Amino acid sequence: MIFSSVAQRIDGLQYLADKMELSGSRVRRYLLQTPFTYRAETLEKQFDDIEKAVRILDKHVHAPNVLKLSHLFSSIHDIKGTLDGLKTSRVLDEIELFEIKHFASLCRDIRIVCEALDFMENAPACLQEVFDLLDPDETGTSGFYLYDSYSPALAKARKDASLAKAEENTKLWQEATERVLTEELRVRETLSGTLSGMHNLLRNNFDRLAYLEIVFAKAALAKQYGMVRPRVVPLKGAGGTDAALSVKDMVNPVLSDVLATEDGAFQPVSITLEKGPCLLTGANMSGKTVVLKTLALTQALTQFAFFVPAREAVIPLVKDVFLVLGDKQDQNRGLSSFAAEMLELNEIMGVIKKGVPVLVLVDEPARTTNPAEGAAILCATVAFMEEHATRSLISTHYGDLDVQVRKLRVVGFEGEKATGVLDPSAINRYMNYSLIEDKGHAVPKEALQIARLLGVDASFIALAQQFLKKDDDETIKTGT
C-alpha cells in the first residue's frame, strides 16, 4: 500500500500532497510511493525528523540556510535513468557523467548546509570519492569533460587530430578523430565501471535527498495547518492494540481552507474511539460525514508519517483504513449504490476475518434500501465489528436499534429560534458540531426543521408533518 493508492480512497491526502512545495517530479514521485507504515519505530524516527525541521523553520536565524537548502534541492536533477544505467553496467555518456559529478558536488553543498543547521543525521553521505574520480585535474569545479589525464592514448590521439587540422590534412584528421572517439569510449567504460561499484552509495543519496526535502515540506505543511505530532500506539500481536484512539480538536484541512475563503472557520471536533464499534448519529447537515472523512485522513496521515491537523492525537496503528461512503455506484458495471456498498463491506469483512487490525469508518450503511432491512443490515454490521473487536465508527439515521453499542451524537442544530429562510452557510453557523455521548435510543429528528429553513415550500412541509405518526410528532422540534 503506497501513498498514491491510498490517496484515491481517502479524501484530503492528495489535497495536502498538492499543498507541499516540492522541487519537482523526482521528489513528488518519491512522496507518492511512500509506503503505508505500521511500524512504530519507523514512524517515530520520521516524526523526530519533522519535529526537528519544524524547530529549524521556526528559528529566524536559520532562514538564509533554509532558503539555500531549497535552492539546492531545486538544482538536483532527476538522474534516476542514469543510476538505473549504472546498476545494469551501461556505459554512460559524457552528459550523464557530468550529471553524476554535478550531483556529487550538490551533495557536498547540502552537507555543508545540514551541518550549519545541525541536521547531519539526515544529510546525504559524502561523495568525495565520486567527485574526485570525475575531477582528475583537481579543478574543484563541477564542469566536466573526458580529461586528457584519464588516458595517455586519448591525449595523444587528440594532439594528432589537432595537428592534422592545423595542417588541413583531412585524411589524417579523420583517422585521428576516430581514434579519439575510440579512446573516449574506453575512458567512459572505465569510469562507468568504477561508478557502477558505487551505485548503491549514489542511489542511497538520491533517495535520502528526496526524503530530506519531504521532511522539510511536511514540517512546512505542519506549520501552515497547525498540525501536531501524533502519539502512536504500536500494533500488538495480530489483533491490534487495545488502547483508545483519541483526537482532540481535529480539523479538516480541505474544508477549513474552503471556509476560510468564505470568512468562516472550521469548528474543531474531539473524539475518542475504543476498540469495537461506535454509532454516530446527528441531524442532516450536522457534519457526520466530515467526522468520518477527517478521522480517516488523520489515521492515514499518521501512517504516512505526517503530522496531523488536531491539537492532540493518540493514534493506535492499524494495517489499513477503510472509509465507506456509499457513493460508489457504478452504472457501467451495472452496480447500484446499494450493491456497490454491500460488496465493499463484504470485502472489508473478509479482511477483518483474517484478523488484520484495521480502522473502519462507514457512512450510513444500507441507507438506500427499505428501513426494515436497512436497520437489520446496520445492526449486523455493528454486531460483526463487536465480535471481531474492530475499531469502527458507523453513522446512521436509524433509531430504536436492537443492539447495545456506544453512541456518539453530533450536538447539532441550535437555531431553534431561527425563522425565515437561511442559506446553507447560515445554517452552518447555527450548527454545533461537537460530539456527545448519547444514552437514548432515539435519533435526532430535525430534517423537516432544516428543510423549512432552507426555504422548502411551507405547504409541502405541512403535508410531510401530517404523514408523521402521532407519537413521533412530539419529538419534532419544528420551531414554529
Partner 1 sequence: MPFVHQIIPYSSLSVVGLGKNTGKTECLRYIIKRLSEKQKTIAVTSIGIDGESIDRVTATPKPEIHLEKGMYFTTVGAYYLQKRFTAEICHVEENATVLGKMLTARALEQGQLVIAGPTDTLSLQRWVTNTLQRFPVDICLVDGAVSRLSPASPAVTQSMVLATGAAYSAHLKTLVDKTRFVYDILQLPVASQTVKKSLEHITKGIHIVKEDGTVENVGIDSALTSAQIRKVVALGAERLYIPGMLGNALLQAFMEQKGAEDMCLYIKDFSHIFAEPRTFYAFLRKGGQIRQLRKVNLLAVCVNPVSPRGYHMRSEELVESMEQALGVPVYDIKKIEA
What residues make contact with partner 1 under the rule CB under 8 A? 24, 77-78, 93-95, 98-99, 102, 143-146, 158, 161-162, 165, 177, 180
Cβ contacts of residue 467 below 8 Å, gap of 6+?
none
- 238, 197, 218: which is closest to 87 by C-alpha? 197
Supply the minimum distance, in Å, between the C-beta of residue 53 and partner 1: 25
Supply the minimum distance, in Å, between the C-beta of residue 148 and partner 1: 8
Which grid coordinates belong to 399? 433509531
Q: CA-to-CA distance for 241 and 315, rounded, in angstroms?
A: 10
Q: CA-to-CA distance for 230 and 227, rounded, in angstroms?
A: 9
Bridge partners of 277? Answer: 392
Supply the minimum distance, in Å, between the C-beta of residue 196 and partner 1: 21
Q: Which of residues 142 and 196 has its CB atom nearest to partner 1 in the complex?
A: 142
Contact indicator for 365, 345 with CB cutoff of 8 Å: yes
- Sign of the dihedral defined by the CA atoms of residues 25, 26, 27, 30, in that order: positive
Supply the minimum distance, in Å, between the C-beta of residue 117 and partner 1: 25
Q: Which of residues 5 and 74 has its CB atom nearest to partner 1 in the complex?
A: 74
Supply the minimum distance, in Å, between the C-beta of residue 211 and partner 1: 20
Q: CA-to-CA distance for 239 and 350, rounded, in angstroms?
A: 15
Supply the minimum distance, in Å, between the C-beta of residue 76 and partner 1: 9
76-81 contacts at long range (C-beta below 8 A, 24 or more positions apart): 76/23, 76/26, 76/103, 76/106, 76/209, 77/26, 77/102, 77/103, 78/24, 78/25, 78/26, 79/103, 79/206, 80/26, 80/206
Supply the minimum distance, in Å, between the C-beta of residue 95 and partner 1: 5
Burial 263-295 (b: 16+ CB within 10 A, else e): eeebbbbebebebbbbbbbbbbbbbbbbbbbbb
Helix (H, G, I), strand (E, B) or coil at 76: coil
Q: Which of residues 48 and 94 has its CB atom nearest to partner 1 in the complex?
A: 94
Q: Which of residues 176 and 385 has its CB atom nearest to partner 1 in the complex?
A: 176
Q: Which of residues 28 and 445 has its CB atom nearest to partner 1 in the complex?
A: 28
Supply the minimum distance, in Å, between the C-beta of residue 143 and partner 1: 5
Supply the minimum distance, in Å, between the C-beta of residue 386 and partner 1: 55
CA distances from 87 to 192, 196, 274, 474 (A): 10, 6, 49, 76
Supply the minimum distance, in Å, between the C-beta of residue 458 and partner 1: 46
Cβ contacts of residue 13 below 8 Å, gap of 6+?
3, 6, 7, 297, 300, 301, 304
Which grid coordinates belong to 7? 490517496
What's the one-letter identity of residue 336?
S
